[in-house]
Chains A and B, each alone.
Chain A
Amino acid sequence: MPAPTLGKLELAALLAVARLDDEAYGLAVRADLADRTGRDYSVGAVYTTLQRLEDKGLLRSHASEPLPVRGGRSRRHFSVTGAGARALREAERNAAALWAGVGSLSNPRLA
């Protein structure tokens, strides 16, 4: 079965979850996205993206114990599923295929 198509924010969020590993929950993912993309995505935008990825089977989640810092609420931790890992590899291959033959960014044709 082909991997689901990923949007730009979906790919960035999936990569953030993969990078953050055990610390991947909404706030951390949002901070990572802000650091790497320079964009301040809203909490709602990040969470809906994460849920969409979960719906697609690329992420799974579990709730932590309630935390005082969150007003007694749980953190929802995300982790990449096997399908999510395959989707990331395919996205990487696709990117590499797109860049193939272009060479270095010092190529005069890109100047």
Chain B
Amino acid sequence: MTETPQARALRVAPRRAGGPAPTASERLLVALGADPDFIDGVFGDFAEEYAVRLAHDGAPSAAAWRAWELVRSMPHLLLCALRHGGPRAYLRVGALLTIVMLPLAVVVVAILTRDGAPATLDAGLHQAGNGFVVNNLRPVQLQMRVRDKAGHALPSDSVRFAWASGSPLTISPLGILTCRERANATVRASLGSISTIVDVRCRPVQEIRATTWIDFIEGDTTTRHLPFEAIGNDGRPVMELRGAVRIFDTDVAALEGANIRAKAVGQTFVVVEIGEQEAQMMVVVHQRVRTFEQLRDDQRYVARAVRLAHGDTVHWAVPHGTFWLKYLPRRAGEAPPTITVVGSIGCTPGDGIHVRRMPLGEFGTYCLVQRTGDISVTLAHGMSGAEWVEGTLAIERVQLR
């Protein structure tokens, strides 16, 4: 029958009556499962050899010997206690280590992570080097990054600001800046005894001009700049921008900084946010097809290559339903062919196909065609202009609710 630690403690108690009280080390080892007789023998040896050393070497030497002997014996005694104590002993050791180590770990973590006094100040939000680029028209809060010597972030609420040099700026002591026009200035940011000079570049953005669509053809692996342009409140393009770009479906296309790359046939949106302005662009990756006839319902984004010589005309049937018809020139700026839709159609805007120069200089032909009978599209290249017209006719089928 297995003897419990309590039973062992009772067994050892009478023998010790009148003898020395067990030390904390003894109690610990017995509690962990060591045999009390065994522990009594061990500590008896300690006492006996201590007495011998005390007589020969003096108290300090004997005490040092006992302390060192106890330290180097303890691993053996603990292992012995565990071996005899079984699973309960392991549980007790686990609990003991947790009790001892947990507060220790908490103290160590607290020491390592405690915040010190502010040591460095630098520009945080809208960061550009040690400065800010501000694209907002409305007042913004400048946010400095405060760290202690260990690099821990500290609250920055107490940082105070003052204009230092350059263009006049409207900035409050709490760091609320209003950029009314393009301006370059420096501002002093202070917190207690530390201060720093930061550059402030006001580049207020009035408008973001962007294409409605970003069209890719399946298999196009090129990376393109996002086709948008920020316009300042002085009407000039703004080149220094800080903002955010998001894409909704990363299975269709991926953002790489301010660039975009097609991934799979489908449609998604890209949103560009700069200052208070926002622009949304639809991204469509078209499936390459040889004909628009007999398309399946799930083939919503398709494109067919166009190559016309002087005098060429082609007539292509278009699928049922409502769709955008787009002509995508092979290279930006190349003139499109003459495109007409034959049949009973309703077209937006106006009543026919419009070839338009897109906001950023690309030609495109976009028309929402609502088919009400048999229709076809005709593409013709006259005798003037380039010898060849090359591009893609794309159809984006719209699911009407």
Interface residue ranges, A against B (CB under 8 Å): 25-27, 30, 42-45, 47-48, 51, 61, 63, 66-67, 69-76
Contact = CB atoms under 8 A, between A and B. Distances in A.
A76 B40 contact: yes
Q: Could you say which of A42, A43, A66 has the most chain B C-beta atoms within 10 Å of its C-beta?
A: A43
Interface residues of B, number: 27
B43 A73 contact: yes
Contacts of B35: 51
B234 interface: no
A71 B76 CA distance: 23
Given A27-B48, A69-B47, 14 more contacts: A42-B76, A43-B45, A43-B69, A44-B42, A44-B73, A44-B80, A47-B41, A47-B45, A47-B76, A47-B77, A63-B41, A70-B44, A70-B47, A71-B20
B73 A26 contact: no
B44 A71 contact: yes
A39 to B, nearest CB: 13
Contact of A26 (B19, B45, B74, B79): B45
B46 interface: yes
A25 B35 CA distance: 17
A102 to B, nearest CB: 36
Interface core residue of B37, B42, B44, B69 (most chain A CB under 10 Å): B44
B18 interface: yes
Contacts of B73: 42-45, 47
A57 to B, nearest CB: 16
Contact of B80 (A42, A51, A69, A75): A51
Interface string B280-300: 000000000000000000000
Nearest to A68: B51
A63 B114 CA distance: 55
